Chain A
Amino acid sequence: MRGALLPSQLRAITSTRSGALTIFIVRRILWMIPILFFVILITFTLMHLAPGSPWDKAGGRQLSDTVINNLNIRYGLNKPVAQQFLLYIWSVVHFDFGLSYQYQNKTVSGLLLESWPYTATIGLLAFLLIIPVGVGLGVLAALRQNTRIDYITMGFATVAASFPNFVIGALMVVVLSVLAYKATGGNFYLPAAGFGIDDSLIMPVVTLALLPIAYTARLTRASTLDTIRQDFVRTAWAKGLPERLVVIRHILKNSLIPVVTTLGPTFAFLVTGSVIVETVFSIPGIGRAFVVAIESRDYPMILGTTVLFSLVIAVANLVVDVAYVFIDPRVRLT
């Protein structure tokens, strides 16, 4: 029986907390396989149901039937759809996401690797901005409820949540790039485009982060206010603990649990890119690439991007679930 786990051995492993955690993670990772399969199936079906073909706009003119026929043969689109699907799954299993239809001789993996780093950098930076700013503002507003600090913070959050980010992005470009350039004679301004690791990142990151910051701040405030009124917080005060300990050990340790839950999806949302932000700041990121791929019916590119996004979301949720085990002792691994 070497190699296989006996039920008794399995029980021995799951009886320890770290063992249970390992099994939990392994199981969740295995679950990703059927999830990805269905994601591909649904995307594939929808894609083929959508009107139009990849060659409608190719080269900017109507192609002749012969050319279209040859292209279909070259990319295997003449085969029955079911067979195409199975072939695609087969190649995905071999980590081959195929060739893009729009760009000659470019692999989907190559295109994703080109564009995703830009998106991921901006998304990651925005995420790193959200945690201290969003959570910080929320906690501050809750602890100073009904004071000026609370009103200003929540006013800011409401405004930030109401403005669409193309407005905020465009506004920032006008004010911080154009007007600032004119006013200072070109000495101080923020670049509105460009994609190095430099100050050209500031505006896109802020634009992208503003909405999640507002949501995180509001959620944190609500959750913290709820916790402040709990009996155990009164117990903590009655013990004579200093305010700092009451806030950190008793209020925040509890009130931030729901906030952590939302950080997983927020992270996934940020690193999968925003077409609007990428368009406003001319970033060659994955958000734009995805939209272009859909417009031109670049089937492999659409599928490849979808697979990547689902993986990111699944992993982000897994990380949150594992984090839960450490921050909330009541969570049981099942």
Chain B
Amino acid sequence: MAQTLLQVEDLHTQFYTSRGVVRAVDGVTLHVDAGETVGVVGESGCGKTMTALSILRLVPDPGRITSGRILFAGKNVTKMTDDEIRDFRGNDVAMIFQDPMTSLNPVTKIGSQIEEAMTAHQRFTQTLARGRVVELLKRVRVPAAESRVKDYPHQFSGGMRQRAMIAMGLSNEPSLLIADEPTTALDVTVQAQIIQLMKQLNRELGTAMMLITHNMALVASLCQRIIVMYAGRIVEEGPVDQIFKSPQHPYTWSLLRSVPRVDEARKERLVSIRGLPPDLLNPPPGCKFHPRCPFVIDKCKVDPEPNLGEVDVNQVARCWVLMRNVKDESLEAAKTSALSKEAAEKLKAPVAEVGGGAGG
């Protein structure tokens, strides 16, 4: 058993808006082991990014961590002083953001932006840091790194900027790298390169990675473990192969059904999940997924969601039904009925539409 690096216990992050309290993160408990890669998946607005920002205590206003504990290598992040949290950010845990086009300061040279990430933590002197910038850019495969350190972000392409962001994230050799949808803003060929790069870095440096995404393909190729989030809570968690083979929560099942798979028979139809994630200001009673769930039973509409229960070795799910209890015929029915009317119409047409990636 590998050593636990990050332990999040019963984390609640809430936003106090004029319209009411939004429970963006609603009792999340998770852990990341040293050197491990964990994927956090779910649709937009499921609390993935807020969980990550909470770990770094960067929740934007009017949000606040209201309860829970975040332990990193034995240190309690929630109790850190301003100086301690400052030294923790970027040093112990680094974060890469979704949109490389806006995540770099437009009026500061790329080199300086990477350099200051290092000098902020007194691990490297200025001279040492300056030398390391080129080395880091080379490591993330930025061509002509020596001359490009003097460039400004607008002189970099999207893929190059994301590489620079990764170089920045790795500059202090953090033990955990949180990547928040690192490939969403990039085109497909560049995505592949970035994934390749992250895989390699994880292997070579042993950096643990928490990958936030709604891209199942990305999780499949990068991660060992998956955490599925819905409406601010974890609904299922387990090893990647197991979850892909036998998801137990209907939401996980639906997410997987909405992704095209090369290894499956062509007759299997792609299914979109009906409706939208719930408005967290006003969540539905019972299980928050029940209005969209194809296998809903009466209990789901009234009773609060169950606790995460063990469904297999290392696999837990939060559901009254569980996929293994769903009969084959209702499974078949769900595959077609889960389609929206328009989508069903489209399927009748000769040209089948296949969305790129898992939506988004």
Min Cβ gap B258→A in Å is: 28
Q: Is the CB of A235 within 8 A of B152?
A: no
Contact mask B152-191 → A, CB, 8 Å, 1/0? Answer: 1010000000000100100000000000000000000000
Choose among A238, A242, A330 the residue that contacts B106 (Cβ–Cβ < 8 A). Answer: A330
The 7 closest A-B pairs by CB, nearest first: A240-B90, A240-B89, A231-B102, A239-B90, A239-B117, A329-B152, A232-B105
Q: Is the CB of B87 within 8 A of A240?
A: yes
Choose among A241, A254, A329 the residue that contacts B154 (Cβ–Cβ < 8 A). Answer: A329
Choose among A238, A250, A329 the residue that contacts B90 (Cβ–Cβ < 8 A). Answer: A238
Shortest Cβ distance from B118 into A: residue: A239
Residues of B within 8 A of A57 (CB): none
Choose among B95, B104, B108 the residue that contacts A238 (Cβ–Cβ < 8 A). Answer: B95
8 example contacts (A-B, Cβ-Cβ < 8 A) are as follows A232-B105, A234-B58, A236-B105, A239-B90, A241-B117, A245-B120, A250-B105, A329-B154
With the chains together, A249 CA to B90 CA distance in Å?
Answer: 17
- Size of the B side of the interface (Cβ < 8 Å), in residues, is 28
Q: Is the CB of A232 within 8 A of B106?
A: yes
A221-262 residues with Cβ-Cβ distance < 8 A to B are 229-232, 234-242, 245, 249-250, 253-254, 257
- Answer yes or no: B91 CB below 8 A from chain A CBs: yes
Choose among A230, A239, A254, A327 the residue that contacts B120 (Cβ–Cβ < 8 A). Answer: A239
Q: Is the CB of A238 within 8 A of B120?
A: no
With the chains together, A327 CA to B105 CA distance in Å?
Answer: 13
Given A238-B58, A254-B107, 18 other A-B residues pairs in contact with their CB atoms under 8 A: A231-B102, A231-B103, A232-B102, A232-B103, A232-B106, A234-B103, A235-B103, A235-B105, A236-B105, A238-B95, A238-B97, A239-B89, A239-B94, A240-B88, A241-B116, A250-B108, A327-B107, A329-B152
Q: Is the CB of B97 within 8 A of A254?
A: no
Min Cβ gap A242→B in Å is: 6
Shortest Cβ distance from A235 into B: residue: B103
Contact mask B221-252 → A, CB, 8 Å, 1/0? Answer: 00000000000000000000000000000000
Residues of B within 8 A of A245 (CB): 116, 120
Count A/B pairs, Cβ under 8 Å.
Answer: 78
- Answer yes or no: B75 CB below 8 A from chain A CBs: no
With the chains together, A178 CA to B89 CA distance in Å?
Answer: 59
Contact residues of A: prevailing secondary structure: helix
- Answer yes or no: A328 CB below 8 A from chain B CBs: yes
Min Cβ gap A209→B in Å is: 28
Min Cβ gap A82→B in Å is: 51
- Answer yes or no: B56 CB below 8 A from chain A CBs: yes
Min Cβ gap A266→B in Å is: 22
B77-135 residues with Cβ-Cβ distance < 8 A to A are 86-91, 94-95, 97, 99, 102-108, 116-117, 120-121
Shortest Cβ distance from A327 into B: residue: B107
With the chains together, A130 CA to B105 CA distance in Å?
Answer: 27
Shortest Cβ distance from B91 into A: residue: A240
Given A329-B154, A330-B154, A239 and B106 touching (CB < 8 A)?
no
Min Cβ gap A260→B in Å is: 12
Q: Is the CB of A232 within 8 A of B104?
A: yes
With the chains together, A241 CA to B104 CA distance in Å?
Answer: 14
Residues of B within 8 A of A231 (CB): 97, 99, 102-103
Q: Is the CB of B104 within 8 A of A235?
A: yes
With the chains together, A239 CA to B86 CA distance in Å?
Answer: 8
